[in-house]
Amino acid sequence: MLIGGSLKNNNSILITGGAGFLGSHLVDTFIEKGDKIGIIDNISTNNHSDFVNPYAEFIQMDINDIDIKKIIKKNNPRIIIHCASQTSVSISSKNPKNDAENNILGTLNLLESLNDYQECYFVFISTGGAIYGENLENSVDENHTCSPKSPYGLSKLTVENYIKYFSESKGLKHLIVRPANIFGPRQNPYGEAGVVSIFANSMLNNNNVSIFGDGNDFRDYIYVNDVVNFIQKAIEKNVSGIFNVGTGIPTTTNEVFSNLAEILNYTKKPNYLPRRPGDIKGITLNTQKALKEINWRPTTKFEHGLKETISFLKSVTLN
């Protein structure tokens, strides 16, 4: 499926997963700047293309498709932002093979399809929440040992290492983004990842909310616009390497629940269920590198991000 014009432009950007949560926000931001944007997305998450910007060229295709090489050769994008992936820790634990096929083999198919490695700037959306393992005491920086506790985290770390290989062997310029737990408008409230949207949607419909474990596990939650702003600034400054993108602030699952319940006047108590395989107890990210090298820091308060997410969920119905 093709929408929009040609990508034959020296400043063209290709965004995989560009119809999804983070990807669609990136598409909108770069189009507002006047960039030529192409999207590759299989529309698997929400089973529709409501978030596809009409000013982008949209190609409905899986990243494992062998024809992706033809798309790359035809359009020759100078920047590729790779968002497309299987993003659920719990699903990866249930089906590690499927997770690897999507996240590892799909990325390899994309990397092997590049025309000129030295002329391409490859931005990979990895994970900061699942790649380091657990750290209950201190925020972790980019030099912290990676010790994933789930197939999802393992697949992201494996792809990072492949990107480093392509960088060393073929001269691929790259940026690896390790975001904390991203939340905000357009996040799927019906999946197994994205606790803010899942909780908020259940509360809006006065349904019961389930918490896996005792709810005292904590994460570093960052609003989607702050992640977009980091990626935009990093590309503008042409930086390379690995960057954490988070707030460094721990927020427990119980706190997410209570904050949303207060905003929405939700009075039901949560249902506590057994902890899921692959879930960690706690992690927050140190983002001093991003502050030092590109003068980036998050600006969105957690409560404001919650209210924006709720407003979005009230305004649309996802099918």
Q: Are 180 and 129 in contact (CB under 8 A)?
A: yes
Nearest to 153 by CA among 279, 301, 11, 32: 279
Given the residues 121, 132, 152, 221, the one annotated as active site: 152
In 10 A of CB 130, how many CB atoms? 27
Q: What are the phi and psi torsion angles at 13 (to 5°)? A: -125, 130
Distance CA 54, CA 62 (A): 20
* Ranges of H-type helices in the chain: 21-32, 68-75, 89-94, 96-100, 106-111, 151-170, 195-204, 224-236, 253-264, 288-294, 302-315
Known catalytic membership, residue 152: yes
DSSP category for residue 240: -
* Residues in contact with 196: Cβ distance below 8 Å, sequence separation at least 6, in sequence order: 183, 184, 187, 221, 256, 260, 305, 306, 309
Distance CA 223, CA 47 (A): 24
| Rounded CA Rg of the chain | 19
Element (H, E) at 60: strand 57-60
Three-point CA angle 140, 196, 93, nearest 5°: 65
Q: Are 16 and 84 in contact (CB under 8 A)?
A: yes
* Residues in contact with 223: Cβ distance below 8 Å, sequence separation at least 6, in sequence order: 182, 183, 184, 298, 300, 302, 304, 305, 308
Catalytic residues: 152
